[in-house]
Structure 1
Amino acid sequence: MKTAGIPDRVVPMKVIVCGVQRTGTLSMRYALYQLGIHDCYHMHDVFENPSTDGPLWSRALKSKYAGGDPLLKEDWDLLLGNYQAVCDVPPAFFGPELAEIYPDAKVVILNRDPEKWYVSVLNSIHSKRTILDQLAVLFCLAFNPDTRAWMSFGLTMFKYGWPFDHRTEKEKAITWYKDIYKEFRERIPAERRIEFSVGEGWKPLCDFLELPVPKTRDCETGKLVEAPFPHLNDRFAFHTDNAQTQAAWMKAAVQNAWAFVGKATVLGGASFGGYLLWKSRLGGRF
């Protein structure tokens, strides 16, 4: 619901990137930044704000896939009002809805070969976790509220957004991928969108957005030349970023454990975290 005194939007929504996870969304985010669109909502924003953003995205997922109350423009403005663009999931789940709510925004359908997409997801988001990784999750669940908020959102996202096991149900995963892109194309008018992949470079994107191609100064000649298109978040970078997030959550969990419950109950809290993990049947998916 709209909060009194808060404007509809702080900044205009300029670009909606309809591209799911592991299609080059982080590269796209940085590309938009170089084009002057400095605030692009991405899954990284949920990582940074799980307690505030997670419940709103969970509500949106239930609204679309489970017949919950529909979100109004005021609701989306509350979540995205400070952002000029969106990309990656969870926004990509709602690409057509966001395109309808923000009719002046341009839409980029961010493509990747389905088979390559599947392998990339398998080796990053859905890669197997070690026993130590899972024990760390248990501890953070018990003592870090941000971890619990993230896990609650994640369970909702898996239930409604990804209703399949990516590791064992390849056919269902690829069918889901093709279906969501089919929805993009069926519900968003062709004149509002461009088909794009990060390998195409600046020209088609800049032509569509009516923005100049970014320039950089060549260190040898001193001349201005076309800037390289960003290519970020490869498999190694993904795991590095994930490790940094887990380390931050662990640090907060340790501080909370010692500050609020003391040495005697740390083990009991970890056991409770184990119970939560078992009860949720995560199966190492996070």
Structure 2
Amino acid sequence: MLNRNREEGHEHLYRDYFADNCVYGAKDFKRRFHLSRDVFLRIANTLESRCRRGFTTLQKCAAAIRLMAMGESPDTMDDYMRMSERTAKESLYTLSRGVVETFGDVYLRKPSLHDLQELYAAHEERHWFPGMIGSIDCTHWKWKNCPVAWKGQYASGHHGSPSLVLEVVASQDLWIWHAFFGVTGSNNDVNVLDQSSIFDDLLNGKASDAPFTVNGNEYKYGYYLTDGIYPQYSTFVKAFRHPVEERDKFFKRRQEGVRKDVERAFGVLKAK
């Protein structure tokens, strides 16, 4: 069996990124791992009990996040982490599953009735839109390391390089409680919406009533702000395409301004 000297790999990683006088600072860490060191350590400390003996939790989490953040191949972990390709793959699986199981109930969930009421209140206070759940939109996420055999499936005439379409719902405080990546093919906002699960509970009669009142009229469910490409659903509120009256022009300005919430969320997600 090959002796990789895993202890040396841990010491090297610790000196570079986690020691009091580490070689690389917080900015370098965030650029290379695509998240802050504090968030990394929170994940690592929480998942420590899941890691089997052998490599340290820092090594396993660092390897897994580098594989996801940089799209590196598992066998590249050998030189720096002293970690085999097999262990790197196992670390990626353990981290992914552990994050979902540990943090899912907090960060990867649909809003409860209490959450919806808080969203209503926040959006009404900040944007003057009572009953608003959030803004829904899609963005194309460039797939830099798309396998060559798949490039034809994920490239379109509009976007020459391979990309995935990400649909999200974002609130004013950057809470992204719905995220769906479109499948292969030439996708736009509408056919991604047709495939996503955002309205599954509503269609299956499982959605909780979340009433709100506007001008004395009570409505059963909240709504999302969208752009003009989305269909005419009662749960979507779009801006007037060609407003004439001053009140319609005012509404268009307000609606388009509020939709900056979701654009800001995309900016945060794509920030390097």
Tell me which interval the TM-score lies in, with the shorter structure as reference length: under 0.3
Q: With structure 2 as the length reference, what TM-score do the two structures score?
A: 0.26
Structure (1 or 2) with the greater strand fraction? 2
Higher relative contact order (CA 8 A, sep 6+): 1
Q: How high is the TM-score relative to the length of structure 1? A: 0.25
Decide which structure has greater helix share: 1
